Structure 1
Amino acid sequence: MSAEATNPSTPVPVVPTAATAAVAPASVRRKSRPRIDLRRLGRAALLGPTARDRLPDAIGHVVEAHRAHHPDADLEPLRRAYVLAESSHRGQMRKSGEPYITHPLAVTLILAELGAETTTLTASLLHDTVEDTEVTLEQVREQFGEEVRYLVDGVTKLEKVDYGAAAEPETFRKMLVATGSDVRVMSIKLADRLHNMRTLGVMRREKQERIAGVTRDVLIPLAERLGVQALKTELEDLVFAILHPEEYEHTRELIAENAARTADPLAVVAEEMRGVLREAGISAEVLIRPRHFVSVHRVARKRGQLRGADFGRLLVLVGEDADCYGVLGELHTCMTPVVSEFKDFIAVPKFNLYQSLHTAVARPDGQVVEVLIRTHQMHKVAEAGVVALGNPYASGTDATATDGPGADDPVDGERADPTRPGWLSRLLEWQQAAPDPDTFWSTLREDLAQDREITVFRPDGGTLGLPEGASCVDAAYGQYGEDAHACIGARVNGRLATLSTVLKDGDTVELLMGQDPASEPSREWLEHAHTPAARIAIQRWLTTHPGGGAPADEPAGYRADADFRERRSHESGPGGRPQGADVRTDRPGAAVRLAGCCTPVPPDEITGFPVRGGVVTVHRVECVAVAHMKSRGRTEIGVRWGESTACRVTLVAESFGRRGLLADLTEAIALAGGDIVSATVEPPSEQRVRHTYTLQLPDAAGLPALMRAMRDVPGVYDVSRTQNQTPAPRLP
């Protein structure tokens, strides 16, 4: 059976539903969710179904919680779902001794308290029937419609007899795919896991730890990403109690000691805030939000000795968005704000729908009180996340509807969920390429371990959601999938960048794509791939092409990784030809670029080699890269200078360090007619400084004079053209 039970002989540490409510004084105690009485429900369930015009006594808690959020909801589907679930599970018992029906009832109550609509609650009551009884999905569809059938199917486990050790990862894969079309699938799974964790009790210690480990690595991150904080925080505390019993007990003692104190700084500041807002004419509730166990533990690790204000935060609830900023202004005017603690998640919501203003105020005794400011609707979403969004398929604007056009008839067999977040879309994409259950399972845990998401913008106005730490490689695979193998460079915020560049929230990324359909990813890209989609796609290509992976065209000494080579090509003009350069090839129409390792200019003797994308790279004949490519059997292409004598060249200036040197050098370059395309200055070493300039010249004939002008700058003792001398690498 899917719902695990407890054995009273080895109890798991008890964690209150509202974690600190058991020990917090009345002044800081928040209203806890009602706990379901399993024994009373068990007795009610054993009485069997009641008359058709009455609701069974056993679902009284569910109805009360549901009506609090949806007073006009039709309760008939719940009555019929309970009757079917109770009769199907009749005779089945949990290990703790209660009738099995108490589990789906408890799961449904959790969702009802969060504000789930009727369809979700109906499916929740039935969520174990197909898995554990003779009820079929077809029967569910016939009696309750396609949406309920879809939700029940989404949370139904795959059989171990069919999948063996792969049953758990493949069940999660199936569940995530279903969630991609309807996030309510995961809502039911999270509530199911919460109740099972509450009653985990006595399973063997190793089984407790295994289940808690999966909850920590998979379910809690999913609850965070779906914004269901009410479930996430309780799951965190339950996992904490099982996996870290000593730290849990120490934290419990800290909370109990704080509760015994007579003076509560949070209550004092809350009353001061109420007075400030009253005088300002702002209607607001000021509540105390005790921290849950894991939160207290984290704060203790961060701050060391805890003081009274560290055990909770103040929550200010208002009616409108504008009132949030009004509250903020009053608090910052009348109290001492801690400016570094201010965050605006209203203007820029988190990727999991969370919105609030965060700030903090300092007390005269030095204690800092954290404050959350949000509307009542924001608070509902902060607690319940996607559960608060209701039915994404309801007609019109009724988010609680369970019937109506489109509810049971997905268009063209597709279910386009408007609530699907970007991270879920990415997960669904890469899971399709995961070759086996083990790879999927390990990669899923790695992916979910990434705490934050950033948003980057595309030049076409679109956006990409990526995990924090993602690079241009990740952006390429996030936008183009496996077509990203042909990516040859990027511009970040309008500037050329290597594909290894780590992106920041708000960056604009333009990905530069080659035209060769047979393009290969570089092996080096794996070092910069942060997302599963990028890593799996690159690794799969390398696995199917042993010894493959785009090799470097030039020696490694000047960073011949693919993204850097191609970045240089895109510093050129249309068609891949360097701006101002005129080079002709013995293959008419071929795109040409000048190699960055030796930056040939007229009248240098030159030769060419074909590289990815049908481009010919032009080198000086004495360049060490030429000998390297000839030794590998690369085809040499005849090239010659055309009529234009404009050129681009890279020069290295060696100098002694002194004040004003950089300004004098750039002035000398400008006076000699050179335009600086890019410049880098290495950190001084033994009072010596190395400058590297890429310059555009209108006429290559002016290069000697420009180099002399640079040498004449006081402190400069040598100027030379770049010429890599590093031995060529041995490629696999």
Structure 2
Amino acid sequence: MSAEATNPEAHAEMRPELRRRGRTRLDLRRLGRAALLGPASRDRLPDAIGHVAEAHRAHHPDADLSILRRAYLLAETSHRGQMRKSGEPYITHPLAVTLILAELGAETTTLTASLLHDTVEDTDVTLDQVRAEFGDEVCFIVDGVTKVEKIDYGAAAEPETFRKMLVATGNDVRVMSIKLADRLHNMRTLGVMRPEKQARIAKVTRDVLIPLAERLGVQALKTELEDLVFAILHPEEYEQTRALIAAHAGDADPLPAIADSVRAVLRDAGIAAEVQVRPRHFVSVHRISRTRGELRGSDFGRILVLVAENADCYGVLGELHTCFTPVVSEFKDFIAAPKFNLYQSLHTAVAVPEGYVAEVIVRTRQMHRVAEAGVVALGNPYTTGTRPEAPDSDEERVDPTRPGWLSRLLDWQQSAPDPDTFWSVLRAELAQDREITVFREDGDATAAISLPAGASCIDAAYAQYGEAAHGCIGARVNGRLTSLSSPLSDGDTVQLLLAHDASSGPAADWLEHARTPAARIAIGSWLAAHPDGAGPATAAPRAPLSVTGLRGGGGNAVADLPDAHVRLAGCCTPVPPDAVAGFVVRGGAVTVHRIHCPAVAQMRSVGRTSVAVHWRATADCRVTLLAESFGRPHLLADLTEAIARQGVEVVSATVEPPVEQRVRHSYTLQLPDATGLPALMRAMRDVPGVYDVSRA
């Protein structure tokens, strides 16, 4: 294994932030020596946490440091005499973890819990003592971290450990913030361990903790963890990347000159902005070298533009695209549509006259804080004045900063039938690197649903309805009827059609199109409980089933009566070129019937005079069809899909209770062309189990 794999300082000279990390580690050695000298006097802040206090005050100038002093004194006293494998006093570890979080802008409660995070597990300090001295909230977080620590080492690769870790994370995201900082410091000092143990810890970090850091938005921790894991698990590729960066360091870097040009453009436009050059970290350089081949000087970093307000971001974008040549395919707006982990920025790329293409990120300073620190930057996630529950409370704490993906994981982890299922769907969820947002329609209401990229209408159904989605028979996407297996795209509008029927259940092939854990677990559980594919009450009589769409009436009939409103009768649903007759009804509207409809004879028998009606040249029409079939599971879904394949919209559908295993379906359909009616009826008759289709 290369020296860099166990000695992160070896490449620190390559990048400014790595030099900062190197200084941090030297500072921690000094903190270790200060810790050995013992606590300070009662009125003075201990020297060992001076760096923590300085970093904390940079983000929170008015912070009360007295609680940090008390937490440090308890931690230092309780850990006194304990040593790390590196030979340093153990207190340097919680100090390092707390310094990492302080630099990210964590609030005082998080830092207090961080200083104490190992005391309950490794010393004689009890949770009751922590609660008595620091309150319920600090106690809750320390208890959560303690539970995570107990399950992480030794059995960290077991599925059940991650279920427990997830629960601990979900109850308070600050638990996982401390855990991530704890893992980062341990990864920095991993060189004292055996190579096989380094590899095991690195794999767990890669598979679970780095994806969790990504989803919590803590990019500063995620990127360094990626580099450290890269060095341990892929030493040869790491060395090649290190050599590539080292070679670039000796060349003229075009990015500072490009940054100067950007500053000049924005200054002339009157936009106050801070422009920085942000070097790529090792893994990022490795990735783009694999996709772009030979790298140019501008590929080793990006331009970061920081402004005050959201509107300024778009002002910067306009100036950049006006004064430079934009690379249109590289533009992404994560301000209007934030990523699943709270990330917001504008991404673009511009070509400069020298022939270089520079990637540019534009964001506000607040967006930058969240982009770097994620949930850590959001402070206390609980409303002021709300007392958190005690650590042994059965009620889950409601965290308004919890990302949507984490809420989903917490929901379905309780439904997972076994640890292996949980593990497989967890890995699949963490592997998702992109989410889409779709908008569901339910009557007059519209709401957003976040789903992983590649999700289908099936996933949307279970996200909206839970287990009631077992009865889903179809969906409209952007107003058009489609099959449940259809994949969704960002921004789609979805209306789901449900059969409100206890006997309905999912088909086995739904699993092939389900992407979300909630859908896969629910479908798998139902299929396991019904191995024959039939619902629990398939043969039992049922009330009529009705599924109604959103579209109103209207047709292509024109009455020979000036300004009369014309509507097609629902009893016979005439379509071109049916012979029709119209009758004036209350309100002056003209209702159109097929000439052989019983209603026509009835109206004429009471002396009603018919109005002449003719069909417009336009071809679309509405019709009601009756389908008679033998009962079987999923018949309604199959019929709906057959109708959708013909490009026909279902306005409403009714299924009567089965009689002697025979079922009668009634569909009111909107056809784009009346000439397609015979083909539609043939397609419906071709559905297995259907023995007749006729006009109503």
Q: TM-score, normalised by structure 1?
A: 0.74
Counterpart in 2 of 1:64?
A: 54
**What is the CA deviation profile of residues 61-92 of structure 1, one whole-angstrom value per residue up to 9, with x for unaligned ones?**
11111111111111111111111111222222
Counterpart in 2 of 1:432?
A: 414
1:386 aligns with 2:371: no
**What is the CA deviation profile of residues 447-490 of structure 1, one whole-angstrom value per residue up to 9, with x for unaligned ones?**
10011111111212222111111111111121222222222221
Counterpart in 2 of 1:623?
A: none
Does the residue aligned with 1:433 lie in a helix, a strand or coil?
Answer: coil
Contact persistence 1:523–1:550 (CA under 8 A): no
Q: Which is further off, 264-273 or 431-440?
A: 431-440
Q: 1:45 and 1:497 mapped to 2: Cα distance? A: 67
> Once the 2 structures are TM-superposed, how far is the Cα of residue 637 of structure 1 from its aligned partner?
3.1
Q: 1:265 and 1:580 mapped to 2: Cα distance? A: 72
Match of 2:68 among 53, 63, 78: 78
Counterpart in 1 of 2:600?
A: none
Counterpart in 2 of 1:240?
A: 230
Alignment of 1:215-254 (within 5 A): 215-254=205-244
Does the residue aligned with 2:278 lie in a helix, a strand or coil?
Answer: strand
> Once the 2 structures are TM-superposed, how far is the Cα of residue 197 of structure 1 from its aligned partner?
0.9
Contact persistence 2:506–2:523 (CA under 8 A): yes
Contact persistence 2:632–2:689 (CA under 8 A): no
**What is the CA deviation profile of residues 643-681 of structure 1, one whole-angstrom value per residue up to 9, with x for unaligned ones?**
xxx99799xxxxxxxxxxxxxxx9xxx6xxx2658xxxx
Does the residue aligned with 1:316 lie in a helix, a strand or coil?
Answer: strand
> Once the 2 structures are TM-superposed, how far is the Cα of residue 170 of structure 1 from its aligned partner?
3.6
Does the residue aligned with 2:455 lie in a helix, a strand or coil?
Answer: coil
CA RMSD of aligned residues (A): 3.9
Q: 1:290 and 1:159 mapped to 2: Cα distance? A: 34
Structure 1 137/438 Cα, relative in aligned 2: closer, same or farther at 3 Å? farther
Does the residue aligned with 1:12 lie in a helix, a strand or coil?
Answer: helix
Q: Which is further off, 433-442 or 125-134?
A: 433-442
Q: 1:462 and 1:724 mapped to 2: Cα distance? A: 37
> Once the 2 structures are TM-superposed, how far is the Cα of residue 530 of structure 1 from its aligned partner?
0.7
> Once the 2 structures are TM-superposed, how far is the Cα of residue 517 of structure 1 from its aligned partner?
2.2
Alignment of 1:153-172 (within 5 A): 153-157=143-147, 165=155, 169-172=159-162
Contact persistence 1:277–1:330 (CA under 8 A): yes
> Once the 2 structures are TM-superposed, how far is the Cα of residue 22 of structure 1 from its aligned partner?
1.7
Counterpart in 2 of 1:560?
A: none
Q: 2:176 and 2:260 mapped to 1: Cα distance? A: 40
1:508 aligns with 2:499: no
Counterpart in 2 of 1:344?
A: 333
Contact persistence 2:503–2:534 (CA under 8 A): no
Q: 1:493 and 1:513 mapped to 2: Cα distance? A: 17
* Aligned residue pair count: 597
1:445 aligns with 2:431: no
Structure 1 470/616 Cα, relative in aligned 2: closer, same or farther at 3 Å? closer
Does the residue aligned with 2:289 lie in a helix, a strand or coil?
Answer: helix
Structure 1 579/342 Cα, relative in aligned 2: closer, same or farther at 3 Å? farther
Does the residue aligned with 1:215 lie in a helix, a strand or coil?
Answer: helix
Q: TM-score, normalised by structure 2?
A: 0.77
> Once the 2 structures are TM-superposed, how far is the Cα of residue 280 of structure 1 from its aligned partner?
1.9
> Once the 2 structures are TM-superposed, how far is the Cα of residue 503 of structure 1 from its aligned partner?
0.8
Counterpart in 2 of 1:308?
A: 297
> Once the 2 structures are TM-superposed, how far is the Cα of residue 55 of structure 1 from its aligned partner?
1.7
Q: Which runs of 5+ in 2 are unaligned?
A: 539-544, 554-569, 575-593, 595-622, 641-657, 691-696
Alignment of 1:41-190 (within 5 A): 41-157=31-147, 165=155, 169-190=159-180
Structure 1 160/348 Cα, relative in aligned 2: closer, same or farther at 3 Å? closer
Counterpart in 1 of 2:361?
A: 372
Match of 1:415 among 390, 397, 411: 397
> Once the 2 structures are TM-superposed, how far is the Cα of residue 339 of structure 1 from its aligned partner?
2.0
Q: 1:343 and 1:465 mapped to 2: Cα distance? A: 18
Amino acid across the alignment from 2:379: G
Structure 1 421/359 Cα, relative in aligned 2: closer, same or farther at 3 Å? same
Counterpart in 2 of 1:12?
A: 5
Does the residue aligned with 1:462 lie in a helix, a strand or coil?
Answer: strand
Does the residue aligned with 2:147 lie in a helix, a strand or coil?
Answer: coil
Does the residue aligned with 2:95 lie in a helix, a strand or coil?
Answer: helix
Does the residue aligned with 1:358 lie in a helix, a strand or coil?
Answer: strand
Q: Which runs of 5+ in 1 are unaligned?
A: 1-7, 396-404, 554-565, 583-599, 620-632, 651-665, 678-691, 696-719
Structure 1 571/153 Cα, relative in aligned 2: closer, same or farther at 3 Å? same
Counterpart in 1 of 2:348?
A: 359
Q: 1:257 and 1:233 mapped to 2: Cα distance? A: 22
Alignment of 1:712-731 (within 5 A): 724=686
Structure 1 167/726 Cα, relative in aligned 2: closer, same or farther at 3 Å? closer
Amino acid across the alignment from 1:514: A
**What is the CA deviation profile of residues 298-321 of structure 1, one whole-angstrom value per residue up to 9, with x for unaligned ones?**
110111011100000111111222
Q: 2:221 and 2:164 mapped to 1: Cα distance? A: 22
Q: 2:343 and 2:663 mapped to 1: Cα distance? A: 61
Structure 1 613/85 Cα, relative in aligned 2: closer, same or farther at 3 Å? same
Match of 2:249 among 255, 259, 280: 259
Contact persistence 2:263–2:275 (CA under 8 A): yes
**What is the CA deviation profile of residues 108-164 of structure 1, one whole-angstrom value per residue up to 9, with x for unaligned ones?**
000000000000000111111122222222221121111111111112236879999
> Once the 2 structures are TM-superposed, how far is the Cα of residue 203 of structure 1 from its aligned partner?
2.4
Contact persistence 1:608–1:616 (CA under 8 A): no
Counterpart in 2 of 1:609?
A: 630
Match of 1:637 among 653, 656, 662: 662
Match of 1:23 among 14, 30, 37: 14
Alignment of 1:569-608 (within 5 A): 580=573, 608=629
Counterpart in 2 of 1:279?
A: 268
**What is the CA deviation profile of residues 164-223 of structure 1, one whole-angstrom value per residue up to 9, with x for unaligned ones?**
958854443233223323211111111111111111114232222221111111111111
> Once the 2 structures are TM-superposed, how far is the Cα of residue 275 of structure 1 from its aligned partner?
1.6
**What is the CA deviation profile of residues 214-259 of structure 1, one whole-angstrom value per residue up to 9, with x for unaligned ones?**
1111111111111111001101111111111111000000100000
